[in-house]
Amino acid sequence: MKAFFINSVDISKKICESILEDGDIAVDCTMGNGNDTAFLCSLIGNSGKVYAFDVQQNAVLNTRDKLLKLGFLERTYLILDGHENIDKYVKEKVKLIIFNLGYLPKGNHNITTKKETTIESVKKCLNILKRNGIILLVVYPGHNNGKEEKESLEIFTSQLDQKEYTVVKFRFLNQINNPPELICIEKIF
């Protein structure tokens, strides 16, 4: 039998699977190669929608190709812009928003998410979440920029009012080299 707790990305996918249903609206705030976008598309059915953001044109082009091959392109809005501008594009309430932060492993490591714009985006995401909607943030404390981003997110999310949001973190306590962690926010009002 396969292990249940494999890594933070895998846990984030298990959460997506248990939350999303046909017809739901979801957002991938860091499109990259489109793996997460395609996964979300597989969970929201023909009547659902996925908005996906990236600042790299190649990310949008690669994702478009991937979704076309999978027959998912019509379920998506692919947006070449930073997720900090999410309020300009998403004008409806959404069930789930995912961030897989940092940089593309095989891409340009200088094009990475940054704590200031990530926090700006998360603040805007809170406003468009449905009741019981969820934000998932996979953070990468194994490198300096990712560690700073994780710490900023922990400070910001731990100050959210517990009457309005539940914040949970998954951290692998007995693994070496600071593996990725997962911060989850559920809107409860």
Ligand X SMILES: C[S@@+](CC[C@H](N)C(=O)[O-])C[C@H]1O[C@@H](n2cnc3c(N)ncnc32)[C@H](O)[C@@H]1O
**Residues engaged in binding ligand X (CB under 6 A):** 29-30, 32-36, 53-56, 59, 82-84, 100, 102-104, 111-113, 117
* Residue type (1 letter), 181: E
Give the tokens for residue 114.
Answer: 């940054």
- CB closer to ligand X out of 33 and 157: 33
- CB closer to ligand X out of 76 and 112: 112
CB of 33 to ligand X, least distance (A): 4
- CB closer to ligand X out of 32 and 133: 32
- CB closer to ligand X out of 17 and 164: 17
CB of 76 to ligand X, least distance (A): 13
- CB closer to ligand X out of 67 and 129: 67
CB of 97 to ligand X, least distance (A): 12
- 131 neighbors 150 (Cβ within 8 angstroms): no
CB of 136 to ligand X, least distance (A): 11
Nearest residue to ligand X, by Cβ distance, number only:
32
Give the tokens for residue 173.
Answer: 């306590």
State the DSSP string of the chain. Answer: ---S---HHHHHHHHHHHH--TT-EEEES--TTSHHHHHHHHHHTTT-EEEEEES-HHHHHHHHHHHHHHT-GGGEEEEES-GGGHHHH--S-EEEEEEE-S--TTS-TTS---HHHHHHHHHHHHHHEEEEEEEEEEE-TTSHHHHHHHHHHHHHHHTS-TTTEEEEEE--TT-SS---EEEEEEE--
- CB closer to ligand X out of 82 and 142: 82
CB of 95 to ligand X, least distance (A): 18
CB of 135 to ligand X, least distance (A): 14
- 32 neighbors 100 (Cβ within 8 angstroms): yes
